[in-house]
A and B are shown apart, each in its own frame.
Chain A
Amino acid sequence: MATLPTTFFGWVHFLLLQYGEVLFKGACVTLLLAIVGTFIGCVIGLVVGIVETIPEDKDASFFSRALLKTEKRILDAYVEIFRGTPMIVQAMVVYYGAMSLFSIDMSPMFAGFFVVSINTGAYMAESMRGGIDSIDQGQKEAAIAIGMDHFQAMRCVILPQAVRNILPQIGNNLIINIKDTSVLNVISVTELYFASKSAAGVYYKYFEIFFITCIVYFIMTFTASRLLRWWEKRLDGPRDYQLVEYDPLADPCGIHPIATKKQ
């Protein structure tokens, strides 16, 4: 039998060789959960944000107005409930609740995707609404004034700006999700934390394993934040523009043509 290492770094090296693959797979699961969950969450948030900001149409029938109001109430409740409870508890409730209430035996992985998405959706809905509200009403009015309807104005003018403005929050959510998917170990999702715990148990080397885990988490979040920042910059495009020709009306002397004509 091979001799066991004696030093800290010896152990780290040994465990890496032994469990590197397990940890790597765990990290992949974590990333997958975080990325897919954040993406679906953003789609949910976008939809909720759009519905929440539909203006009340006085000409619409009583029925469709009541419907819209009910929808908004339900979405409000969704946002409040999922922001107001911890994801670890949501995971338990969804996973075991589905089993005992509806006899649905979902895989832990599916439950994981579901919980992360719906949780992120609740946060993104609020960000989205804030993003939409932050675009000044004047641009919406200008869009209406050139003949667009509410949804055209949203699609062409408001949403592109709102989404751009909340990109940092999307990035933030992704980073939070990379870390917080660790709570899914309670329903046995084999993400990085779960994998680490299993590996640590074999030799009782918790510190050594979690030292590695810590570094892996950090590499993932750091890379994500850098990539997002680069992407934001790219979206903004170049700061200057090509001037094709001189502006013939701009008046550097500040002469008021009509006033001067009178004199």
Chain B
Amino acid sequence: MIEANNILCVKGLKKSFGEREILKGIDFEVKKSDVVCIIGPSGSGKSTLIRCVNFLEEPTEGTIEYEGQEVHQAFKKLPLYRTKVGMVFQQFNLFNNMSVVENCMVGQVKVLHIDKEEARKTALQNLEYVGMAGYMNAKPSQLSGGQKQRVAIARALALKPEVLLMDEPTSALDPEMVGEVLTVMKKLADQGLTMVVVTHEMAFAKEVATKVIFIDQGVIAEQGTADDLFLHPQKQRTRDFLSRFNVLSHQNEEDK
């Protein structure tokens, strides 16, 4: 069956906070080396969805499968699953009491029980990859937003995850720093890392995504390849949503 090469499979996912149902039954698959971009209006449940995928939020209903097996059955403990499915946050969330390199080591040492020397090597390789090796001894408070986010990516990569989840990784950045983070993300995508990215960067989604999912009011309104969704959206809701971005880009062109 096709499911064989699915890394992640989300089935009938529902999530309520109290009485309010935020996610109302979400189904999608992520294949190896997929770059899935999740787009949708604010408050539609994108963050909730991606947080449910690594169980930062406990889903109310539905299952998540990792390589064909329900997560709780595939892994004795959630932390082990979380090392396979890395996460990058909108607000970076670096550990402020640690230097850049320690941020990238602590998970390897504490969770995977890798010895310090080895962990340091891996940390430095990943920092090199995101162009932050020169800042290895800096504290997070000494970095710019874009640099923080690149360190956060290196921190996630240091655990050698199979999938990287990202929740609006560039939304908290000043415009001039968005590029450096997108560059790293694109490099990762080109290397075949499987990613699920919530983003408002339509240019990025258009160029890099193998699949785009449009979420509206807690359901998947439409999903397909980047071309399908951006060039031939089937639903009015999708068109309305995308038109806001198109309007912006037209304006930009007129400005020039």
Contact = CB atoms under 8 A, between A and B. Distances in A.
Interface of A: 58, 136, 138-139, 141-149, 152, 156-157, 160-161, 164, 240-251, 253-259, 262
B234 interface: no
18 contacts: A58-B58, A138-B89, A145-B54, A146-B86, A147-B82, A147-B112, A148-B79, A157-B95, A241-B137, A244-B136, A244-B137, A245-B133, A247-B135, A249-B180, A257-B183, A258-B182, A258-B204, A259-B179
Nearest to A254: B176
Given A241-B138, A247-B134, A249-B184, A146 B82 contact: yes
B133 A145 contact: no
Given A249-B183, A258-B204, A146 B159 contact: yes
A249 B150 contact: yes
B175 interface: yes
B179 A257 contact: yes
Interface string B78-119: 011011001101011111111000000011001110000000
Nearest to A262: B203
Contact of A250 (B83, B180, B201): B180
A186 B79 CA distance: 55
> Which DSSP category, helix, strand, loop or mixed, fits chain A's interface?
loop
Interface residues of B, number: 56
A37 to B, nearest CB: 28
7 tightest CB-CB pairs across the interface, nearest first? Answer: A254-B176, A146-B107, A142-B93, A249-B131, A147-B111, A138-B93, A245-B134
Contacts of B138: 241, 243
Contacts of B92: 138
A254 B175 contact: yes
Contact of A145 (B56, B137, B144): B56
A58 B95 CA distance: 27
Nearest to B95: A157
B239 interface: no
* Max count, chain B CB within 10 A of own CB: residue among A139, A146, A245, A258: A146
A257 B112 CA distance: 36
A147 B203 contact: no
Interface of B: 54, 56, 58, 79-80, 82-83, 86-87, 89, 91-98, 106-107, 110-112, 130-139, 142, 144, 146-147, 150, 152, 155-156, 159, 175-180, 182-184, 186, 201, 203-204, 207
A237 to B, nearest CB: 8
A141 B179 contact: no
B184 to A, nearest CB: 7
Contacts of A259: 179, 203
Contact of B89 (A142, A147, A257): A142
A249 B177 CA distance: 10
A89 to B, nearest CB: 40
A52 B79 CA distance: 23
Contacts of A246: 134
A21 to B, nearest CB: 46
B107 A148 contact: yes
B110 A156 contact: yes
Q: Which of B79, B144, B146 has most A Cβ within 10 Å?
A: B79
A244 B134 contact: yes
A164 B156 CA distance: 26
Nearest to B108: A146
A149 B111 CA distance: 9
B89 A156 contact: no
Contacts of B159: 146-147
B134 A243 contact: yes
Contact of A248 (B86, B93, B131): B131
A161 B96 CA distance: 8
A162 to B, nearest CB: 10
B110 A148 contact: yes
A144 B56 contact: yes
A22 B150 CA distance: 63
